[in-house]
Amino acid sequence: MKVVLPNKRKRNIIFMIVFAVILAGSGIYLLWRVNQEEQLSPEYSDAVTCVEGKQCPACEWPSVAYCGCSSDTNPAWRTCGCRTPNNFTCGQACGTATKCNPPACPSGWTNCGVSGDSGAKASGCKAKTSCSGACTNCLNKFVVKRYCKQLPQNKCDGGEWENKPTGTYEYCDEVKYSFLAKDSDGIDESSIVVKMNDIARGSFSKTEEAKQTKVSETLSTSTNCLPAGSYTISTSWKDKKGVGGNSCTLTTSFEVLAEVLNPNWSISKQAVEKCVDENTENPRAEISYVISVSNTGKGTGSLDKVVDDPDSKVLESYLSGISSGGIFSSGTIVWDLQGNEEIFAAGQTKTFTYTMAVAKENFGEYNNVATAYPKEGEPITASARITADCEITQPEPPLPPEEDLPETGIFDETESSLAVGAVLLFLGFTWTWIGQRIFMIPKLFSNTRSWFVKKDREMKLNMKKKKKEQDIQKSEKRKKTFEKKIRF
């Protein structure tokens, strides 16, 4: 029978498979061996030759290291082993072994027991501390281990934002935050820390609610503004058992934009009357108008124009003294501002003026409205109302022209002279009778004079009374005129 050998290529494949199996098996064994917990059995797994027991590695209590016979019948070959102190062979006398007490379990661990105790190596118990000892005579070594089990760890339950500032805010916008610090054990309020840009805050408020504490603060208002810049708020706290950690922290960032300095506009208009030729037949009122436009904001602004609308009764001939740049056209005065004239710095005020003359025939109330037109924003207006009213005095009526006096000479003609002579002759013959009656004449004249004196006094009193009433009326009229001027 002919034997067919595999070809060379097949032999190589078989060899590589066998080699790979051996290599994998060796690796698995080494991995298993490395992960085995090191234990000291009653007999060493790896033989260590010795002469005396103190040369041997320590054994875990209740065993103690000793240098024993390789077999009970052949004491020449000694190896290290672990036995209880009262189970030594080959005639060794080691004395006594006193068990030491290992340190307590670390924080967060509970005690399971020490080497030799029942249940010390229960599930979950691990050797955490140890102590060493030796027999009194032979100094054979031993170790006592304390086994501990880890307690369930207390954790901070966490928290959440109620009002989380983020993104960007305009300058002087309201910026505030609030968050809830939570934990099933309650919150240690004294541990709450709030920092803004790593600087601790001290003005936040705290409100305890069951197992949580609410923390809040207003950082910026319209009257107390945060400076422009970037801000990061970080918070942290602990529960009432003193446990904190990453779960007990919150962080957020936001930005406050630079202040935008805008103009703010105001306008006013005043009218002041001055009477010219008052208390004459033809007085006139001169009314001076002053329009004031102010930029009361914090930024520079521009004004396009100022327009004044005089009362509809006003004609162009009434106006004079219009300040620079003003033009009267189609019933309005327009100041069309150009270049530097239209620019108002923060806090700057500019005035626009003109004068209006009103004749007595046009006395009355005048209402004017001024409007300013900013290049950005809504127009603003102001009005002024005033009454043109000056005192008018009527002229005295003219005296009648003087007439020529008639001739009074009684002796200018002959006929007159004869008539006078006849009268004198008549008086001579009747003088006695006339003399008797002549004494009655003074009495008559006396009565007549008294009557005229009385009438003259009454007339003077009436004139004084009438003049006084006229003065009072003039005073009242001037008072009313002054009050109207003050009012408008």
Look at residue 229 and tell me if it is in a domain: yes
pLDDT tens, position by position, 151-208: 877 777 788 999 999 999 999 999 999 999 988 888 888 999 999 999 999 889 999 8
Token pair of 202 as six digits: 């001290």
Check whether 397 has a pLDDT greater than 70: no
Question: Of 294, 296, 306, whose CA–CA distance to 350 is shortest?
Answer: 294
Q: Which range is least confidently modeled, 19-23, 298-302, 423-427, 429-433?
A: 429-433
User: What was the pLDDT predicted at 43?
Assistant: 41
**Are residues 125 and 184 located together in one domain of the fold?**
no
**Are residues 276 and 378 located together in one domain of the fold?**
yes
Helices 440-487, 431-438: axis angle to 10 degrees equals 40
CB 140 within 8 A of CB 51: no
Check whether 377 has a pLDDT greater than 70: yes
Look at residue 96 and tell me if it is in a domain: yes
Look at residue 19 and tell me if it is in a domain: no
Look at residue 329 and tell me if it is in a domain: yes
Question: Of 349, 197, 359, 179, whose CA–CA distance to 285 is shortest?
Answer: 359
Tell the residue number behind the tokens 């043109």, with chain if given.
Answer: 388
**Are residues 296 and 190 located together in one domain of the fold?**
no
For residue 171, the domain's CATH number is 2.60.40.4140
**Are residues 236 and 284 located together in one domain of the fold?**
no
Domain boundary among 84, 119, 150: 150
For residue 350, the domain's CATH number is 2.60.40.10
Look at residue 373 and tell me if it is in a domain: yes
Q: Which range is least confidently modeled, 39-43, 142-146, 216-220?
A: 39-43
Domain residues for the domain of 64 are 53-150
**Are residues 134 and 191 located together in one domain of the fold?**
no
* pLDDT (average), residues 306-317: 90
Check whether 259 has a pLDDT greater than 90: no
CB 231 within 8 A of CB 196: yes
Amino acid at 108: G
Check whether 35 has a pLDDT greater than 80: no
Backbone angles phi, psi at 486, to 5 degrees: -65, -40
CA 255 – CA 378 distance, rounded (Å): 31
pLDDT tens, position by position, 441-472: 555 555 666 666 677 778 877 887 787 777 77
Q: What are the Cα distances from residue 477, in Å, to 274, 280, 282, 394, 465?
A: 16, 15, 17, 16, 19
Look at residue 36 and tell me if it is in a domain: no
pLDDT tens, position by position, 349-368: 999 999 998 888 888 889 99
User: What was the pLDDT predicted at 302?
Assistant: 92
Domain boundary among 346, 371, 388: 388
Look at residue 432 and tell me if it is in a domain: no
Look at residue 464 and tell me if it is in a domain: no
Order across the sheet with 199-200: list the strands.
167-169, 249-256, 229-239, 187-196, 199-200
pLDDT tens, position by position, 275-287: 888 777 788 888 9
Domain boundary among 388, 413, 432: 388
User: What was the pLDDT predicted at 16?
Assistant: 80
Q: Which residues, other chains included, contact 138 with Cβ-Cβ below 8 Å and sequence gap of 6+?
A: 52, 53, 54, 66, 92, 93, 94, 95
Check whether 42 has a pLDDT greater than 50: no
pLDDT, greater one: 413 or 96: 96
pTM: 0.40
Q: What are the Cα distances from residue 461, in Å, to 396, 448, 455, 464, 468?
A: 21, 20, 10, 5, 11
pLDDT, greater one: 96 or 431: 96
* pLDDT (average), residues 377-401: 79
Q: What are the Cα distances from residue 248, in Å, to 152, 205, 254?
A: 18, 18, 21
How many structural domains does the chain have? 3
